[in-house]
Amino acid sequence: MNLPASETASRLITLLASLMLVFQLLLVVQRMLITNIRLFALQSLLLTAIAAEVAYSYGAWHLVVVAVLTFFGKVIFLPWLLTRLVRRIKIEQEVRPFVNMPASMLICGALTVLASVVVRPFTSLERLGSNTLAVALTLLLTGFFLMINRRKAITQVLALLTTENGVMLAAIALTTYGMPLVVEMAIFFDVVVGVMVLGLLVFRIRESFDSMDVSKLNELKG
């Protein structure tokens, strides 16, 4: 029996959102910086697909602009920029996270459960795939954890970007099918400019300390 188009779209969005979460968890356990950048690009590609699917299935055509910006900005431009930066500074591996990998996975599992509990009262606002809002909140929380847990500035930049992916997914998952276009574009360009500034900061940290470990900044004295 054929499923209604809206139900098919809902299931597809749920699948894509779940894959975004899988890539987020791989980011938590992966130490190679180039691989982390590629995982972020794949996660952003899935977000692009979700925005395009919502635009097509639910008539939210302003999300086409979001999908195009996400594709060219987060799937192509920012991964290229960060990969170029990593190869230029010649530090390709995260060495010592604050929390080891097994403990990190346990913490991420706890954050996933927490996100599911927190969004339960808001499920009536969610028109898209089941638990899409919970996945978005999980991306947000695990992005914050990744930012705190890693020492390398590049990984912290990626954590910021995955957190923003969670915010965009949450906006798409709500009844409005995204924030107003002007707001979405403003957030997108703010993130791009922020990453470019952080990229310059990373290069300066590397030049000054021969390392990308942000804890080295504690050695600065006025």
Q: Which residue from 177, 138, 136 is spatially nearest to 51, judged by alpha carbons?
A: 177
* Domain boundary assignment for the chain: 5-213
Can you give the pLDDT at residue 95?
Answer: 58
pTM of the entire predicted model: 0.80
CA 11 to chain CA centroid, nearest Å: 21
- CB contact set of 187 (below 8 Å; sequence gap of 6+): 164, 167, 168, 179
The amino acid present at 41, given as its one-letter code, is A
Residues 6+ apart with CB under 8 A from 166: 136, 137, 138, 139, 140, 143
Q: Average pLDDT per run of 10 along the chain, which is 222 residues long?
A: 62 89 90 88 93 83 84 89 80 70 89 87 62 87 87 78 86 62 57 61 55 52 50
Structure tokens at 65: 């602009």
